[in-house]
Amino acid sequence: MLLTGGNRHDVTQLLPLLDKVPAVAGLVGRPRHRPDALLADRGYDYACYRRLLWQRGIRPVIAERGQPHGSGLGIFHYVVERTTSWLHGFRRLRIRWERRDDIHEAFLGLAVCLITHRHVQRLC
């Protein structure tokens, strides 16, 4: 997880975030360290970042600026927005009051545990 100030542009943290992706266990052999594709909105539509993703073996699926809406990323975007709204349901996370980032990350981890617990309870 990367924690930055609210006034930072998201695209500046794209490559450091990809570097922190843990190994994905799956099929027999060496575990994958990179995703196959990266889905992103128009804010990430820069030629240099597309090129860097291709060099890392990641297929960029990024909506293009200046094009009409309907790129097909909406169904995936909904999942992210829904999860963010669930996290904002916790008052402590809606506005960051803590000065120390480790405390904020601890509350974030607790919120994720509670969201997962509620989701699993609904399924059972």
Residue range 18-43, pLDDT digits in tens: 888 777 777 777 777 778 888 887 88
**Joined tokens for residue 50:** 């597309």
Based on the fold, state whether residues 86 and 63 are members of the same structural domain. Answer: no
Based on the fold, state whether residues 51 and 90 are members of the same structural domain. Answer: no
How far is Cα 6 from Cα 124, in angstroms, rounded to an integer? 38
Based on the fold, state whether residues 6 and 56 are members of the same structural domain. Answer: yes
| Domain range for 7 | 1-68
Based on the fold, state whether residues 79 and 105 are members of the same structural domain. Answer: yes
- Domains held by the chain: number: 2
Question: Where are any strands of DSSP class E within 1-124?
Answer: 37-40, 59-62
Based on the fold, state whether residues 34 and 10 are members of the same structural domain. Answer: yes
pLDDT given at position 105 = 87
**Joined tokens for residue 86:** 């669930």
Based on the fold, state whether residues 59 and 79 are members of the same structural domain. Answer: no
Query: The tokens 């809606």 sit on which residue?
Result: 94
Based on the fold, state whether residues 64 and 105 are members of the same structural domain. Answer: no
AA letter at 66: G
